[in-house]
């Protein structure tokens, strides 16, 4: 299921920033360093355009894709012995039920107050895509962050190289408007590269643990409670680093940076570490 477009100021800011960085990188940094008509210039322009295209494609998909809604007909089958994990409420021990949506919640699903619906394997609500990051669009969101980090660092390298090359020319040849472009680009790219690199590192950590952001914080609380009881807490969906990667990104390594999601299943049931133990 796909969502329609609606105006969002944060999304407008992101789109404007992408357009600005692309224009400056290709028509200022590459042109003034190599020249757009030279072989190095054409190669760099082509490469940066490819990375930018993947950024825009994955960003658009992250916006329009439904993150995964809980079917209104979902009912947990507590008699199914093959289902080893039934998430329950923290108080009362009952199966998780959403009073706002009036249906049971499958494992890893949470209600989003902004989207006003329960989202399968919800990670968080992201204002920058005006959408939840959940079961259906998590990989697309992650791949978008990967390409954005590559694009920002690539552009920053071209900016520094172009600026170094410009310093070797006569100062009179550098117009004031170009200096403003360099300053604005630097002020935009440096913090973006740092912030997005941290975000990328965070989600790589989550993928290796097969956790969502919500599950990480829940795990912190659970670890504290288990420590008080003298027990060791283990995330139930942690299958090991490689299998966690395959579960989230897909079985084909070459497709890990592509917006493919045929491997994710319906989001109502996930393989747990307990399944591995019971099959041994």
CA atoms within 13 Å, Cβ hemisphere of 62: 26
Q: Given 101, 126, 255, 258, which residue is catalytic? A: 126
Give the C-alpha separation, 43 to 40, whole Å.
5
CB atoms within 10 A of CB 274: 14
126 is catalytic: yes
47-50: long-range contacts, CB 8 A cutoff, minimum separation 24: 47/154, 48/22, 48/151, 48/154, 48/155, 48/158, 49/22
Q: What is the CA radius of gyration of the chain?
A: 23
As a whole number of angstroms, the distance between CA 248 and CA 119 comes to 16
Strands of 28-154, DSSP E: 97-98, 103-104, 110-112, 117-119, 124-126, 131-133
**Nearest Cα residue to 117 out of 136, 135, 98:** 98
Active site residues: 126
């Amino acid at each position: 299921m796909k969502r329609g477009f609606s105006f969002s100021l944060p999304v407008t800011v992101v789109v404007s920033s992408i357009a600005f960085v692309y224009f400056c990188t290709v028509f200022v940094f590459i042109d003034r360093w190599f020249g757009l008509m030279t072989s190095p210039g054409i190669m760099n322009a082509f490469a940066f355009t490819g990375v930018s295209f993947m950024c825009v494609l994955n960003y658009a998909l992250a916006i329009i894709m439904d993150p995964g809604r809980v079917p209104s007909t979902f009912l947990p089958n507590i008699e199914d012995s093959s289902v080893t994990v039934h998430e329950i409420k923290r108080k009362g021990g009952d199966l998780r039920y959403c009073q706002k949506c009036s249906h049971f919640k499958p494992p890893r699903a949470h209600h989003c107050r902004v989207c006003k619906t329960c989202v399968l394997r919800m990670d968080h609500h992201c204002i920058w895509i005006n959408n939840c990051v959940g079961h259906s669009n998590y990989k697309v969101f992650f791949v978008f962050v990967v390409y954005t980090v590559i694009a920002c660092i690539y552009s920053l390298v071209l900016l520094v190289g172009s600026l170094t090359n410009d310093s070797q020319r006569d100062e009179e040849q550098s117009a004031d408007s170009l200096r403003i472009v360099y300053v604005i680009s630097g002020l935009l790219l440096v913090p973006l590269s740092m912030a997005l690199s941290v975000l990328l590192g965070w989600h790589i950590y989550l993928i290796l643990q097969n956790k969502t952001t919500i599950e990480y914080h829940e795990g912190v609380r659970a670890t504290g409670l288990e420590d008080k009881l003298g027990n060791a807490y283990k995330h139930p969906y942690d299958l090991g680093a490689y299998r966690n990667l395959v579960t989230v990104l897909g079985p084909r390594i070459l497709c890990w940076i592509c917006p493919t999601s045929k491997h994710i299943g319906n989001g109502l049931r996930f393989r747990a570490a307990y399944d591995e133990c019971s099959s041994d």
